Amino acid sequence: MRKPKFQSPSGMHDILPEEQKYFQKIYDVVSNIADFYGFGKIDTPVLEETELFSKGIGIATDIVKKEMYSFRTEGGNYLSLRPEWTAPVVRAYIENGMQTLPKPVKLWYFGPCFRHERPQAGRYRQFWQFGFEVLGEKNAVVDAQIIQIFYNILENLKLKNLIVEINSIGDSQCRPYYKKLLSSYFRTREISLCSDCKRRLRENVLRILDCKEEKCQPIKAEAPQTLDHLCEECRSHFKEVLEFLDEIEIPYRLNPYLVRGLDYYTKTVFEIFPEAVGEEGGSQDALAGGGRYDKLIKLLGGKDAPACGAAAGVERIVSLIKNQNIEFLKAPKSHIFLAQLGNLAKRKSLKLLEDFRKARIRISESFGRDSLRAQLSRANRAGVKYALILGQKEALEGTIIIRDMASGRQTVVKLEKVVEEMKKKLKK
Ligand code: AMP
């Protein structure tokens, strides 16, 4: 096939009707859970000031360094397409006076994000995220609840073998010392690190811990671990989070290398993975990730307040639903087809379709066609139980034919009675 003249930008995809049912199902599950746990929905603009992200996410992170779509407007402002939602949600929380609301403020969202990454399976340049943020609460129960919410959503979507990976990366009390330890450890081994990690050693030493390069693995394995260097407050907070998770029976695995790619995290960080099953299961992309960010609100100009949240990638969930052959997404089918013949009948059919819509009965049609045979063969292919036939004679008499497609038996009823009649038939 010849390439069309115009194609969607690399790494960005159309979401076609057959895909939409997955998005819709995920949206329904997420919004029901958000409702249950008392979260209010928020939408923010897809564009924000670039500085919101460079300040919030961190100037030396991959997202800000290489992955943002940024531009200068005619008016001279620097704007970026949002690569994630937490910084915009915090901006909106501060700007809209939500700091004065009773705490905590609980918000959720569902919408596209943009990152200029190398496109590959499960990694796109425009992708959808949903997420939950709890602002103004420091108790460890919130960390556990955020994890529980994401776990519940994935379980409600019938995804199996999920595992939560969790770590604590400390706070401003203990992290500087730990980073110093890490730096001196890696500095003595710099020569054996990959080129990215050599750069990270100067810019963002924590990120060496999540490097996937083969040659860095043995060096990482011997590195000091954050859990051994937490201050008292971070240690007891983390212990409580794990106790809550034990209580609600969420399976987790401690991962000392989990640091996450954004600077704003403090204390708890976590990701949820589909657990690799059997031999072929290699490293998998995370479905969701998040953690606590106790300093971000202040950093972005708000009153000092703790917070915790997470986000999940919709496309990755859709692809897992497909891989696990989950069947709950059959599109609802209509059982009735409305066929018409002649001008008057077409006009009356248009009106009749509305009567069915108001009665919430699904019905399909092919009004663009005039031949009765073509319409009935379409009804046959659609596998409906009944065809309603409105011909010229019926249109004049105010009647309509109900044809039982299996037996071929036909009955005539008054046009104004047909909705009621079909309601009865479908109930049987
Ligand atoms: P992050 O905060 O970067 O860990 O993103 C949260 C979630 O969004 C990830 O666990 C993924 O499910 C999803 N995600 C992140 N980046 C991409 C991407 N480039 N393409 C598709 N999904 C992504």
Tell me, using a 6 A CB cutoff, whether residue 291 lines ligand 1.
no
What separation in Å is there between the alpha carbon of 313 and the centre of ligand 1? 5
Residues 142 and 104: their CA atoms lie apart, in Å, by: 10
Residues 142 and 308: their CA atoms lie apart, in Å, by: 7
Measured between its terminal Cα atoms, the distance across the chain in Å is 49
* Most ligand 1 atoms within 8 A of CB, residue of 68, 109, 115, 157 to mutate: 115
Are the CB atoms for 296 and 86 separated by under 8 Å?
A: yes
- What is the 3-state secondary structure of 275-306? CCCCCCCCCCCCCEEEEECCCHHHHCCCCCCC
* Number of Cβ within a 10 Å radius of residue 314: 23
* Most ligand 1 atoms within 8 A of CB, residue of 154, 263, 285, 293 to mutate: 285
Residue (of 301, 369, 298) closest to 337 by Cα position? 369
- pLDDT, residue 323, reads 87
Please name the residue that has the structure tokens 């595992």. 163
Tell me, using a 6 A CB cutoff, whether residue 123 lines ligand 1.
yes
What separation in Å is there between the alpha carbon of 124 and the centre of ligand 1? 9
Q: Which atom of ligand 1 is nearest to the CA of 124?
A: 20
What separation in Å is there between the alpha carbon of 118 and the centre of ligand 1? 13
What separation in Å is there between the alpha carbon of 83 and the centre of ligand 1? 9
Tell me, using a 6 A CB cutoff, whether residue 318 lines ligand 1.
no
- Enter the tokens of residue 141: 């129960």
Residue (of 132, 135, 126) closest to 46 by Cα position? 126
Q: Whose CA is nearest to atom 20 of ligand 1?
A: 123
- pLDDT, residue 428, reads 80
Sign of the CA dihedral with 301 first, then 302, 304, and 309 last: negative
Instruction: For residue 308, list its beta bridge partners.
Output: 134, 292
* Most ligand 1 atoms within 8 A of CB, residue of 82, 129, 284 to mutate: 129
Q: Whose CA is nearest to atom 8 of ligand 1?
A: 313
Tell me, using a 6 A CB cutoff, whether residue 337 lines ligand 1.
no
Residues 145 and 72: their CA atoms lie apart, in Å, by: 40
- pLDDT, residue 68, reads 96
What separation in Å is there between the alpha carbon of 27 and the centre of ligand 1? 17
Residue 294 CA from chain centroid, whole number: 24
What separation in Å is there between the alpha carbon of 274 and the centre of ligand 1? 14
Tell me, using a 6 A CB cutoff, whether residue 86 lines ligand 1.
no
What separation in Å is there between the alpha carbon of 301 and the centre of ligand 1? 26
What separation in Å is there between the alpha carbon of 304 and the centre of ligand 1? 28
Tell me, using a 6 A CB cutoff, whether residue 315 lines ligand 1.
yes
* Number of Cβ within a 10 Å radius of residue 59: 13
Residues 168 and 191: their CA atoms lie apart, in Å, by: 28
Tell me, using a 6 A CB cutoff, whether residue 87 lines ligand 1.
no
Digitized pLDDT (tens) for each residue of the chain, 428 residues in all: 788 999 999 999 999 998 999 999 999 999 999 999 999 999 999 999 999 999 998 887 888 888 999 999 999 999 999 999 999 999 999 999 999 999 999 999 999 999 999 999 899 999 999 999 999 999 999 999 999 999 999 999 999 899 999 999 999 999 999 999 999 999 999 999 999 899 989 888 998 998 888 999 999 999 999 999 999 999 999 999 999 999 999 999 999 989 987 888 999 999 999 986 544 444 578 999 999 999 999 999 999 999 999 999 999 999 999 988 887 666 678 899 999 999 999 999 999 999 999 999 999 999 998 899 999 999 998 899 999 999 999 999 999 999 999 999 999 999 999 999 999 999 88
Q: What is the pTM of this model?
A: 0.88
Residues 31 and 234: their CA atoms lie apart, in Å, by: 32
Q: Whose CA is nearest to atom 13 of ligand 1?
A: 313
What separation in Å is there between the alpha carbon of 113 and the centre of ligand 1? 9
What separation in Å is there between the alpha carbon of 356 and the centre of ligand 1? 43
* Number of Cβ within a 10 Å radius of residue 208: 26
Tell me, using a 6 A CB cutoff, whether residue 48 lines ligand 1.
no
Are the CB atoms for 290 and 309 separated by under 8 Å?
A: yes
Q: From start to end of 84-213, where are the E strands?
A: 105-114, 126-135, 162-168
- pLDDT, residue 35, reads 96
Instruction: For residue 269, list its beta bridge partners.
Output: 167, 291
For residue 397, the SS3 value is: helix
Tell me, using a 6 A CB cutoff, whether residue 387 lines ligand 1.
no
Tell me, using a 6 A CB cutoff, whether residue 12 lines ligand 1.
no
- pLDDT, residue 276, reads 67
* Most ligand 1 atoms within 8 A of CB, residue of 114, 127, 163 to mutate: 127
